[in-house]
Amino acid sequence: MYGNLIGYQQHENKVIVQFEKSEAVIETITPAIIRFFVSVAGLDRKSKAIENLNCAPGSLTTHHADGVLTICTEKLVVTIKDEFYVTISDRAGHVLSEDYQGEGKPFIRKGSGEGLAIAAEEGHKLEAERNKLLFKIEKKLDQNTFFYGLGDKTGHLNKKGYHYKMWNTDNPSPHVESFDALYKSIPFLITLKEKQAFGYFLDNTFESIVDLGKENSDYYSFGAVGGDIDYYFIYGPSVKSVINRYTDLTGTTPLPQLWTLGYQQCRWSYTPENRLREIADNFRKKDIPCDALYLDIDYMDGYRVFTWDHKKFPDPKRTLELLKKQGFKVVTIIDPGVKKDKGYSVYDQGIANDYFATDKDLVPYVNKVWPGDALYPDFSNEKVRNWWAGNQKIMTDTGVAGIWNDMNEPASFNGPLPDDVLFNNDGVQADHREVHNVYGHYMSKATYEGIKQATGKRPFVITRACYAGTQKYATVWTGDNQSLWEHLRMSLPMLMNLGLSGIAFCGTDVGGFGFDCTAELLSRWVQVGAFTPLFRNHSSIYTRDQEPWAFDDQTEAINRKYIKLRYQLLPYLYDLLHDGESSGLPVIRPLFLHYQDDVRTYEINDEFLCGDSILVAPVVEQGARTRLVYLPEGNEWIDFWTKEVFAGGQYIVREAPLDLCPIYIKGGGIVPLYPVQNYVGEQEIKQLTLDVYLTESVKNGSYIHYQDDGESFNYQNGGYNLYELSIIYNDPSDDLTLSIKMKHNGYRKAYESFKIILNHTIASEVILDGEKIPYEVNGESTYLSVDHLGTISIKL
C-alpha cells in the first residue's frame, strides 16, 4: 500500500513521510502523544472529538539513515520503515508497540455448507462477516497484554480475545457478551503490558472495528470502513497518565451540579401529574432521600418533543414548582425524532429552515420512532444545534432541571437509516455512514449549550449514544439493561471501562430496565448504585414496580440505608468529580488504576474503587451471603462496617448478609461526609465530618476537599474553597498533628466547624491553639469537633 520510504520533510511538529505510493503525517502533539495520519479517503476531516487541541510538542529530532526514519520526542522514539512499518519505544529503548508484519490469519471456523444451512434452520446464526474495511492497522500482540477502555462494550473488564464494532446500536435484546456493539462508540483502547500502559485512539467516526486478538492471537488491529487513517498513540506508562492525556485531547467531564449526585428515580410511566406527585410524596413519607424525578416519553403530547400532554399535566409549571418546594428536580426526556405533523411548530420550523437530514435527493428523510413518522434534526449542522439549543428554554422555563437525550444512535423502528441519508456536517456534506456515530454526540452538545444559555447553571444532560469526547456535554447511562443478575454483574466492567474511556460521570439503570426485578436483586443493585456517579433507578413501563418501597420492608430498609449512605458520601463524590475535571480520572475505577504493579488486579471484574480511598466488593450473585474479596497490595484496608484492619495483597472471605455490601477504606484514607438530607440543599451544611482511617502502622494521611455553591459556574472564576487536611505522626512525642488549612478561599459559605473521627486512635489529650479541648473516645476511635481552621495536636 505504501512502498518504500523515500524521504521526509519536517514542518515544526509535523513530519511528512514520503513513501513510493503514498505519504503519511506524523505529528507530535506532546512528547507523549503522537498522531498518525494518512489521507486514505481524502476527507481530512476536522475532529469531532477533539475541539481545542493543545499542541506542546517540546523538542523534536528526526534522523534518517539506512532506510529508517527516527523521530524522537522527549518521551518517545518512533521509527518508521518501508511500508509505513512503525515501532514506538520509550526513551530507554523499551519497545512499547510495533506494527505486525506477518500475514493476516483469521481464526478458522470449521464446518461444511450443509451443516450451516441446517444450523440456520434451527435459528443459529453464524457471526456476521466483517464489513469490508477501507483500512486496518495491525499491531503485534504479546501474550501478556491486557486491553481496556472502548466505552460501553459488553463482557468482562479485559477485552483481550474479543472483537468489537463501533457503530452506535440500539439492540433491545438482553445485552450479552456476544454483542459487538452497543449505544456508544469510543474507539479508545488502553493496553497494559509488563506493568506499562499506553493507549490508541482511532479518531474516525465511520463504522470501525477493534480486534483484540480474536482474529489471530499474533496481532490486534483497528480499522474502519471509511474515512482517513487518523490515530493517536498515547503514552503512559501509568494508566492514569494515559487517561489524563486522552482527556487532554478529547476533554474532561465538567463539574456537575451537586444535586445530580443525589439519588434519582425514574420509570417509564410517571404520568399523569398525580402519579408523579405520589412518587414524590412517598419518598418524603418514607424517609428515603431523593433529588430527581424523571418524566419519560408519555409526558408529551403525542410524543411531540418540547410539548406537554395537558390532559396529564394541566399546568406543568405549577406541578414542577410544587415538586421543587419538596426538593425535587424534574428531568424530562427529549428524543431526536420530530413528529411529521404540519402545524406542530418544531416540525414546521425544521422544514422551513432545512433543519432535517435528507435523502440523497435532498427530500427530508422520514423513518419511524415513538411519534410514528418522524424526521431527524441534522445536529451535525451548527445552525441546527443552535436551533435545538434554543428549544431547551421551552423546557427550562417550565422548571425542568435537566434533559435526558435518548434514541440518539439514532434509533429507528422502520429499518436502519440508509447509508446515503445526507447531513450538512458543518458545511462539508457527509452521509449517514460518517455522521451516525456522532449524532448523539452533537445532540448532547446542542442540549448542553442550550441549557447553559437558558439557565446559566451547569447543565445536566444525560445521553444514551455518544462518541469520544461526549463527556464534555453529558453524563451517560448504559441503556436498556434488564433486571438480570447477569446485568448487575456486567454493569461493573462496563462502568469501569466507560470511566477508563473518559466518561467520568456514568451509571446503569439500577434494578434493571426491562424484565421484572426481584427484591433481592434490587437490594444488591442499590448497593452498587450508591457508589456509581449517576445513581438512577429506572424501569420500563409494564414491568414490575421497582421503586425502593415496591417490594417488602426489608428491601425498603436496604434501599434507605444505601441511599442515605450515598448522601453522606456526597462531598467525597463531588471532590472526585472536581478532581476529574482536571485529571480526567473517573469516579468508578478498576483496581489496577491505583495498583498497576499488582497484576492480580488486572482481571477483577466484580470489585471496584470509588475514587482512591474506597474499595467496593458488591455481591452480584443471587443467594450469596459471603464473598471472596481481593485487597490490593501496597495498602492496608479497613472494613467500613467493623473497622477491622487487613493487610493488602490477600484474598479474604467476607460475610455479606443481604443488607451488607463489603466496603473497605484504604489505610490513611480520609473521607469527607455530610449529614444525611432528604435532598441536596435541604440544609446549609455548616459542619463537615472528616472520617480518618488510621491504623497501627499508618498514622499519616492527607486530603484536599473542595467546596462551592454546587450549581453555578462561579467556581471557574475562583468562587470556591479548597481545604487541605493533613495528619502527621510524630514519633518521639507519640502524638498526631492534624492540620486543616484553607488553600483557596473564594466561596463565602465556608464551614463553621469540623467533626473529626479518628479511627483506630485513642487520644489522651487534644490541644487546639495551646488549649485542651474536649473529645470522646468510643471503642477504638476518637471523636472531636473544632470550630475553626488550625492545627490540632492529639496525644496518644
Q: How many residues bind ligand GLC (CB under 6 A)?
A: 10
Residue number with CB closer to ligand GLC (225 or 300) = 300
Nearer to ligand GLC, 270 or 674 (CB): 270
Cis upstream peptide for 377 (omega within 30°):
no
Backbone φ and ψ of 450, nearest 5°:
-65, -45
Give the one residue of 215, 273, 480, 556 binding ligand GLC; rule: CB under 6 A: 480
Residues 622-661 that bind ligand GLC (CB under 6 A): none
Cα-based torsion angle of the residue sequence 428, 434, 437, 439 in order, rounded to the nearest 10 degrees: 40
- Give 739's contacts (C-beta < 8 A, 6+ positions apart): 724, 725, 726, 790, 791, 792
Distance of alpha carbon 127 from alpha carbon 363, whole angstroms: 36
CB of 294 to ligand GLC, least distance (A): 9
Decide: 34 and 13 in contact? Cβ < 8 Å. no
Tell me the closest approach of the beta carbon of residue 622 to ligand GLC, in angstroms. 24
Q: What are the Cα distances from residue 4, in Å, to 11, 62, 83?
A: 21, 18, 6
* Binding-site member from 214, 464, 561, 705 for ligand GLC (CB under 6 A): 464
> Is 296 a binder of ligand GLC (CB under 6 A)?
yes
Interface mask (CB under 6 A) for ligand GLC, residues 525-554, using x and -? -------------x----------------
Q: Does 479 bind ligand GLC (CB under 6 A)?
A: yes
Closer of 175 and 436 to ligand GLC (Cβ):
175
Q: Which residue in 180, 409, 449, 575 is the catalytic one?
A: 409
Would you say 536 or 560 has its CB closer to ligand GLC?
Answer: 536
* Residue 310 Cα distances to 267, 299, 318, 332, angstroms: 20, 9, 12, 15
Where in 258-277 is the site for ligand GLC (CB under 6 A)? 268
CA distances in angstroms from 485 to 365, 519, 659, listed in the order given: 40, 12, 17
Longest distance between any two alpha carbons in the chain, whole Å: 90
Rank residues 166 and 331 by Cβ distance to ligand GLC and give the closer one.
Answer: 331
Whichever of 280 and 295 has its CB closer to ligand GLC, that residue is: 295
For residue 468, the minimal CB distance to ligand GLC (Å) is 21
**CB closer to ligand GLC, 299 vs 630:** 299
The residue whose Cβ lies closest to ligand GLC is 268
Q: CB 480 → ligand GLC: shortest distance, Å?
A: 5
Nearer to ligand GLC, 5 or 297 (CB): 297
Q: Residue 780 catalytic? A: no
| Contact yes or no for 668/694 (Cβ under 8 A) | yes
At 747, is the secondary structure helix, strand, or coil? coil
Q: Is 480 an annotated catalytic residue? A: yes
User: Which among 152, 230, 291, 406 is annotated as catalytic?
Assistant: 406
CB neighbour list of residue 429: distance below 8 Å, 6 or more residues apart: 422, 423
Beta-bridged to residue 129, according to DSSP, are none
Give catalytic status of residue 203 as yes or no: no
Please pick, from the candidates 242, 290, 333, 395, the single residue that binds ligand GLC as defined by CB under 6 A: 333
The C-alpha cell at 578 is 472536581
Taking each helix axis from N to C terminus, what angle separates 316-325 and 273-285, rounded to the nearest 10 degrees? 0
Q: Which helix (H) or strand (E) holds 721?
A: strand 721-730
Instruction: For the CB of residue 242, give the shortest distance to ligand GLC in the complex, in Å.
Output: 31
Beta strand 687-693 pairing with 14-19: unpaired
- Please answer whether residues 186 and 501 qualify as being in contact, where contact means their C-beta atoms are separated by less than 8 angstroms: yes
| Residue 183 beta carbon to ligand GLC: minimum distance, rounded to whole angstroms | 8
- End-to-end alpha-carbon separation of the chain, Å? 73
406 touches ligand GLC by CB under 6 A: yes
In the bound complex, what is the minimum distance in angstroms from residue 344's beta carbon to ligand GLC? 19
Site for ligand GLC in 56-95 (CB under 6 A): none
Binders in 503-522 for ligand GLC, by CB under 6 A = 513
Tell me how far, at minimum, the Cβ of 576 lies from ligand GLC, in Å: 26
Catalytic residue among 180, 230, 431, 480: 480
Q: How far is the CB of 171 from ligand GLC (least distance, A)?
A: 11
Task: Return the number of the residue (312 or 464) whose C-beta is nearest ligand GLC.
Answer: 464
**Alpha-carbon torsion angle 568, 573, 575, 579, nearest 10:** 170
- Give the 3-state secondary structure of 254-302: CCCCHHHHCEEECCCCCCCHHHHHHHHHHHHHCCCCCCEEEECHHHCEC
Alpha helix segments (H runs only) across 438-534: 439-455, 485-500, 519-529
Residue length of the chain: 796
Contact 184, 167 (CB under 8 A): no
Residue number, 517 or 698, with CB nearest to ligand GLC: 517
Which cell numbers hold the place of 737? 498533628
Contact assessment for residue 611 and residue 668, using Cβ atoms and an 8 Å cutoff: no
Residue 266 CB, shortest distance to ligand GLC, in Å, is 8
Query: Using CB under 6 A as the criterion, which residues of the chain lie in contact with ligand GLC when the complex forms?
Result: 268, 296-297, 333, 406, 464, 479-480, 513, 538
Catalytic amino acids?
Answer: 406, 409, 480
